[in-house]
Amino acid sequence: MMPNDLVSLDQVVTSSPMVVLWGAPEESRPVEFVTRNISQFGYDAKDIMAGNIPFNSLLHEEDMEPFLAAFRNGLNGPGPGLRIEYRIITKSGDVRWVEDRSVFHRDETGKVVAYQASLLDITDRKGVEASFRRSEDRLGRVLKASKISLWEYFPEKDATIAIGRGVLFGDEENQDRLIPRKELWDRVVPQHARGALEERLKNILSGRNDFFEYETETIRSDGTRGWMLSKCFPVRGADGNVLRLPGLNIDITRLKETELEIVRRNDRLALLHSLSLAFMEEIDTKELLRRILEKAVELAGTEHGRISVLEPGGREFRLILGVGVMASMVGETRPSDAGLAGEVLKKKAPVVIHDYRTFSRRIDDPRLAGLGTVIGLPLFQGGNFFGVLSVAYCKVIPVFDDGFLSLLEQFSGAASIALENARLYEMSRRELEDRTKTERQLRSHAKLVEAAAYASGALLSSNRTEDALPRALLSLGKAVNSCETVLFRNQAEADGTISARVLARVFPAGECEKTAGVPESFPVQKSIPEIHESLAKGIPFHGTMAAFGNAGTAFSSCCSSVSVTAIPIRIRSRFWGVLAFCFPGERGRFKTEEFDVLRAAAYNLAASVFRWESEERVTGGYEKLRKIFTDVISTMGRIVGKKDPYSIEHQERVAELAAAVARKMGLEEDACESVRVTGLVHDVGKIEIAGEILNKPGRLSPIEFELVKTHSLSGFEILREIEFPWPVAEITYQHHERMDGSGYPRGLKGDEILLEARILAVADVVESMLSHRPYRPSLGLKAAREEIEKNRGVLYDRDVVDACLALLEETPGIITPT
């Protein structure tokens, strides 16, 4: 090899990351030659080859013994070499990882005569591996916390391996090793669940299914039973055969237990519902109690139970029904403060004694010596404590969940309701005869009650019509078989006496309707003072026509010989009038309950009339007030017209158009009225502007226009002193504002402008363009439409413009040029 070749080789070695060294086969590993690139660790090759720096001094103290042992074994063993990773301390004190690949050269006898090693810096790789392990650890912790395990099944080996940190079934022994499937299933899958898993696995492997998802029971690593959801997707080769099945298991034990608990509760509720229905069908108290006890022990899953009732006085319980060990106690009594029943009576709530043998207030009875857990449930009748329903378990202390105890409590509630129903039924049966008698009495005047209810209800809920009152009277008259029914209203005469005025007269029998000569009112206080005095005190009158003398014709116009029943009507402690029934011939007096019905009906008739009259007065007053209000508003508009005649009609036409647009937009009538009223006065502020400017025939100068623009503020200041039911002043203030803020006087924009002001702005522009002005003729409807269409959403509200355009399209004549 030429010198130049040696130089080139030296350069290659120096630039290589791999350090080459060799030496004698001794355990101290002497270095007879090392390449110069040992300098990457800060050392000089000459110092190491001279022995000034022993190779072992480069090793990290924690790795020195493992390295020496591995090197020693390599020298003494039959192998050709070794591969080991360890840490080197650089001259600057840094720690670097190296991969050491050593080869042992042997003579013909097999004895090692030299070693040759190559060192490669793998620090970066080790850092990546450490980072990967940390990520893997984190993933394992996350999966374990989330109860998710990863696995991979290899059909060729029929074995499964857990991925990561052995999180598959909480068993870290599964990490990095294959487990035969059957062995794994024996450990984690109950026998009864394996058949379905086998079937799904076959479907995946055969290609019939491309996805596996199955819920199954599982045996967890601690031996407890749980539930898991398995999911996997096959990875197939080019031939379509499954190479592997990566998948995951999710522990759904808590979810499944919740689901099963809901099913159990629903089943319990269904059972409780069916029992409640069965109880409701039983009306015999003794039979009902027997069925309650029978179903209670069935529901509790035991054979022992009893029902004890609290004796009058509350000092003793008597056992009236019993089954199991308590059957022999029927008829016996116990103190009301002893035993389970005493505890239930004290708490008025369910009581569970988990071990009766240790219960301090137990009853000393050898027949109860074998009891374990006992449960007492209170029974109520009509809100009163009735007794105790008990179920018991002999020599057993079962574990109850809250759902079961809640079910028993609901059962006792249903039983109590059923007992109350049975008690009420028995009371009803005992009172049946009295009830039947009462019903007969009620039936005798049911026709009257029905008629009175119909007349009163229909009249009180109706608006006043000409035939409403006669129809009500006709219904009452037919119910009592009167030939004539009259409603009188008292009225004061000029001399202070009382006359009776006929409000309505009907002839229910339909046999005669003589009204000729019958007065519409008569001086009742003068004609029949005694009867009037009695009626005024609220006492009904019943008698013959003769008692009325000449005044009798006022009560009956068709029968010469009649009896009369007069029901006085009092409203607000004043004698308001009379409801009179006339009968042909003699008729007996009404019964007290019939008088009560007729008195209520008469009051309701009068109340309806009174309501109608009040409504008429209110309506009349409202219309009068509204007319005055409108006149005042119109007067304000005319004041402006003194200076600017154009403003009078302009305001009225703007008001009309703005109100129509508001209605088109679907606003409530109150809002429409607000727009209309504001339209009538929206230019009232022009009263403060000189008439010469308002009526100037030519274009206004900038100063004159600025003066005109002040009318919005002036109008606001004039109108804000008036207490309107709407924001008239503020709407007037804003009616020249524009959506983009270019209006005046405040430059408001968008929703800052009241909706009523936006409506008024469009109506004002349209009317102004359609009207002749002192400085120009009408611009016409087309120009007005184009103006608001062009500036829709810019100057004017979109919805308002749409409503106005639709209105002009549907009703072109709503506003015409002037």
- What single string gives the DSSP state of each residue in 83-130? EEEEEEE-TTS-EEEEEEEEEEEE-TTS-EEEEEEEEEE-HHHHHHHH
What's the gap between Cα 728 and its chain centre? 41
Q: Which amino acid is present at 405?
A: L
Specify the pLDDT at position 516. 45
Residues 677, 782 share a domain: yes
Residues 111, 145 share a domain: no
Pick the closest to residue 487 from 555, 535, 547 (CA basis).
Answer: 555
Residue 447 lies in a domain: no
Specify the pLDDT at position 172. 39
Q: Domain total for the chain?
A: 5
Residues 413, 389 share a domain: yes
The C-alpha atoms of residue 234 and residue 247 are separated, in whole angstroms, by: 9
User: Last residue of a domain, which of 380, 404, 429?
Assistant: 429
Q: Which amino acid is present at 681?
A: V
The C-alpha atoms of residue 478 and residue 408 are separated, in whole angstroms, by: 59
Residue 458 lies in a domain: no
Residues 246, 142 share a domain: yes
The C-alpha atoms of residue 220 and residue 228 are separated, in whole angstroms, by: 10
Residues 181, 107 share a domain: no
CATH number for the domain spanning 89: value is: 3.30.450.20
Pick the closest to residue 472 from 459, 491, 488 (CA basis).
Answer: 459
Specify the pLDDT at position 260. 73
Residue 448 lies in a domain: no
Residues 705, 677 share a domain: yes
Q: In the chain, count of helices (H) and strands (E)?
A: 26, 24
Q: Spell out the long-range contacts of 74-78 with Cβ–Cβ below 8 A and sequence spacing 24 or more.
A: 74/102, 74/104, 75/25, 75/27, 75/104, 75/112, 75/115, 78/110
Interior/surface letters 212-231, b for 16+ CB within 10 angstroms, e for the rest: beeebebbeeeeeebbbbbe
Pick the closest to residue 671 from 801, 758, 762, 796 (CA basis).
Answer: 758
Q: Edge-to-edge strand order for the sheet containing 498-506?
A: 521-522, 498-506, 484-492, 574-584, 562-571, 541-544
Q: Which two tokens stand for residue 84?
A: 């080991």
* DSSP β-bridge partners for residue 485: 506, 581
Q: Which residues contact 363 (CB under 8 A, 6 or more apart)?
A: 334, 338, 339
User: Last residue of a domain, which of 61, 89, 121?
Assistant: 121
Residue 495 lies in a domain: yes
Residue 128 lies in a domain: no
User: Last residue of a domain, which of 581, 616, 651?
Assistant: 616
Q: What separation in angstroms does the CA of 283 have from each of 78, 278, 279, 548?
A: 100, 10, 8, 60
Residue range of the domain that includes 680: 642-814
CATH number for the domain spanning 510: value is: 3.30.450.40
Residues 493, 371 share a domain: no
Residues 668/746, Cβ–Cβ less than 8 Å: no
- 573: region left, alpha or beta (phi > 0 left; psi from -120 to 50 alpha): left
Residues 743, 611 share a domain: no
Specify the pLDDT at position 15. 65
Residues 788/766, Cβ–Cβ less than 8 Å: yes
pTM (predicted TM-score): 0.33
The C-alpha atoms of residue 541 and residue 764 are separated, in whole angstroms, by: 70
Specify the pLDDT at position 508. 79
Specify the pLDDT at position 173. 42
Pick the closest to residue 24 from 112, 107, 119, 118 (CA basis).
Answer: 112
**Per-10-residue mean pLDDT, the chain, length 818:** 48 73 90 92 92 91 91 87 92 93 90 91 85 68 67 82 45 57 83 84 84 81 81 84 85 80 68 62 75 83 88 88 90 89 88 86 85 87 81 79 74 74 68 62 60 61 66 83 85 79 80 55 74 82 73 61 83 84 82 82 79 67 55 58 66 89 91 89 80 73 83 86 85 93 93 94 90 77 90 94 91 65
Specify the pLDDT at position 62. 92
Q: Which two tokens stand for residue 26?
A: 């001794």
Residues 149, 88 share a domain: no
Report the relative pairing of strands 148-154 and 159-162 from DSSP bridges.
antiparallel
How many residues in total does the chain contain? 818
Residues 357, 221 share a domain: no
Residues 654, 610 share a domain: no
DSSP H helical ranges for 642-667: 645-664
- In the block, tokens 């009867």 appear at 531
- Helix, coil or strand: residue 228: strand
Q: Which two tokens stand for residue 431?
A: 């009172």
The C-alpha atoms of residue 654 and residue 638 are separated, in whole angstroms, by: 15
Residues 336, 302 share a domain: yes
Specify the pLDDT at position 451. 65
